[in-house]
Amino acid sequence: MADTASIGSVLIPEMEKKGYPRDFATAVTVSGSVQAILIPPSHNAVIYSLAAGGSVSIAALFLAGVLPGLLLGLTLAIMCLFIAKKRDFPKGRSIPMKEALRICVDALWGLMTMVIILGGILSGVFTATESAAIAVVWAFFVTMFIYRDYKWNELPKLVHRTVKTLAIVMILIGFAASFGYIMTLMQIPTMITAACSPASRTTSTWCC
């Protein structure tokens, strides 16, 4: 929801201006937002690890999400190309190699955030929580001093949006942890396993 709201508020109107149907622009934005669940650093992976009591490594979850995330992005790209060609959607201009290289160089400052998070966690230099704190400081520095996308008088509004998103995540973590604690306290997983075991043994006997 957060990715759809933040990206869609910019992407959907721009796609409409370029001549794309609103329903297609919305569908692409919503489908692309799902990719954030898989691609590291996925906050859903962090929530899952915390809800599981830390028994599942965050670094392992990050690594496990790389291939499915890339596969999802590739399939979405292929589908969008197929639909765009079939419906004769407008085409963008060809970007010269010199301009493409300049865009890549400009993007390196922002992409360093991924290097800090994944590199720090996988190398063992710092934990997921510490990497998040360092990445926030780096992202703030890049946004305000290098890219200068926002003015200083807009900082309170940005903090307010961040706190709203953080509140949603913390509520999810709180309920997930409480639910996991109650499940463990009432031994519900053990009861489900015991109830399913006779059925699995009966099925195996029948198959043999």
Residues in the chain: 208
Kindly state the tokens that stand for 135: 């990445």
Helix, strand, coil shares of the chain as percentages rounded to 5?
Answer: 85, 0, 15
Instruction: Find all residues with CB under 8 Å of 194, minimum gap 6, and list them.
Output: none
- Cβ neighbourhood burial of 62 (10 Å; 0-12, 13-18, 19+): buried
Q: Write out the chain's pLDDT in tens, 208 residues.
A: 666 766 777 788 888 888 888 888 888 888 888 887 787 777 777 777 776 766 777 778 877 888 888 898 899 899 989 988 888 888 877 888 888 888 888 888 888 887 887 777 777 777 777 877 888 888 889 888 888 878 888 888 888 887 887 787 778 778 877 887 888 788 887 788 777 776 555 554 555 5
41 preceded by a cis bond (ω within 30 of 0): yes
- Phi first, then psi, for residue 177 (nearest 5°) are -65, -40
Q: Specify the DSSP class assigned to residue 79.
A: H
Kindly state the tokens that stand for 80: 């969008």
CA dist 191 and 91 (Å) reads: 58
